[in-house]
Structure 1
Amino acid sequence: MTDKIRTISGKTLHPVGLGCMNLSWAYGTPPSHEDGIKLLNRALDLGYNHLDTARIYGGGKNEALIGEALKGRRNEFFLASKCGIVVDGPKRGVDCSPDAIDQAIDESLRLLGTDHIDLYYMHRFDPKVGISDSVGALAGAIEAGKIGAYGVSEWSAAHIREAHSVHPVGAVQTEYSLWTRNVELAVLGTCRELGVPLVAFSPVGRGALGGVLRDPSTLEESDLRTKMPRFNAENWPHNLALIESFVALAEEAGVTPGQLALAWVLSRGDHVHVIPGTTSLQHLGDNHAAWDLPLPEEVLSAADALINEDTVAGHRYHEAIRPTIDTEEFEPA
């Protein structure tokens, strides 16, 4: 890897950013408030300069944590957040109407303790609202100086193109890892063609490719992975066998499995960024260092052949979630 930085919205960034979700939500009991603050500050000390959060992460708790933890260090990092997913008691769904976007931006600014968010995503596609209306609201926020750019998350290539024709898209965020390749159907190439950065979330397969998780039945009930088919009793034994071979490949190459997983995603194009999340200070450092590791092409190719859409067992989401995903899907085998 020759270029040491990549860009989003004209800002030069380290290609390994930090996904902050699991400091507040999603993978079982989050770390203590104090440990979350410690990890965020350590991230900046290590050189992370791209932090990613969203309103849904703990119902605003994650945005508030970042605002508190990094008060006084706001000029050291590129800040991304998201709106659109609504989880309010019985009210659940996606709302990217202009009014909802305007209100969400103001609340995010308040929680984050800042007057400017560098990148603000629509977290999911809202088929009830015209793309020009949603993008128009975000363009208005850019003009007002509240956000620097807008992005979209888990959108199809066709809808990305439509949004981009209304106002240039600052970034597209979607799941991308060795075992989740949906973006390769259309979105990866579309982003390259349009000059739009692709930000990969869950680049270590929701932790599975890190090689630490052995038995998903030990996960807390509140852990999202307990509802994901790849971690269930039917599919996990097959996937674990793949992961064990992957761990051996990484060890032979002298890197951690997580580093190999990140390096593979980053090798997919010079417009690709990764935002792995972690609650471990050790993994925080390992992940950031993945960009500087000289991995031979044959190692990346071996990883590519070992774990992919054809070899992994199970869908990435359970059936109730799948209709909310706009990104192109592989045809069932």
Structure 2
Amino acid sequence: MSKLMKQVWAKAQADKKRIVLPEGEEERNLQACGKIMQEGLANVILVGSEKVIRDKAVSLGVSLDGVEIHDPETSDKTQEYANGFYELRKNKGMTLEKVDKIVRDPLYYGTMMVKLGHADGLVSGAIHTTGDLLRPGLQIIKTAPGISVVSSTFIMEVPNCQYGENGMLLFADCAVNPCPTAEELASIAISTAETAKTLCGMEPRVAMLSFSTMGSAQHELVDKVRRATELAKEMRPDLDIDGELQLDAAIVKKVADLKAPNSKVAGKANVLVFPDLQAGNIGYKLVQRFAGADAIGPVCQGFAKPINDLSRGCSADDIVNVVAITAIQAQDQAK
């Protein structure tokens, strides 16, 4: 286990939160549930058929002691969630007939649990796509105040590395927004800075990346990053955010001294905001493969309440770690 995850586990254990797993019938979720409860990382709520869940748990040798199980088909909460969802969506053409069917979907049911405070966070994605997760999240939870877009970050832990925070850096956005606008990039920068504080305990130094450093190139793509930097600074003048910066100027002091000598961020950035999803996704995978880095994530950010996505190729241990991360986010939002 990485140093960061050890810290995350300890924080999660110190203040247990209620985390809902809408894919409650899925075997990896059940295996993860057993470990989460055993390690005291969270109080787990499973959504699905209680019979199916209990039968599978027996076959897997997983104890469900202390685990809450909700079956949307029989739960006394289903009508309450249907009414709540109708109120949220009635101006969008939602009908009572549609609502009753929609909230029986475990993802919508689980998201309504979080909305109404019956759970502190949600983790899904072992058998659902990112779009499946984001849809109810955006319809029900919505974005946090002052944040225009939901995004993602990977926490990269690079062994034997002097860059960032002793080899720890956050990369965003690597999983959600294909071509963010300047306004969206600014929101991504602010969200990732907050994630750096919440999960990593670091003071963020945010570099807005480009193929230009402080005006060395002229192009509309560079203009977007410059505008995003200006907006982010206006929105959060308390944060150290600077750009546009090339990658080497962002993390290498010698290069920063030449290209951006007056920057508070250049040469020591620990948060890297990529200009689009292609660059971010390629960038984190290059570092993961070539440098042997641990890539923790993707961590979703920007929602008003914690919701996190999984890879459909995830392991039970991956689910355990994402639940612990979600619990830390819930702790932070409860402050």
- Asked if TM exceeds 0.5, the reply is no
Q: Which has the larger radius of gyration?
A: 2
The two structures have a TM-score, normalised by structure 2, of: 0.34
The two structures have a TM-score, normalised by structure 1, of: 0.34
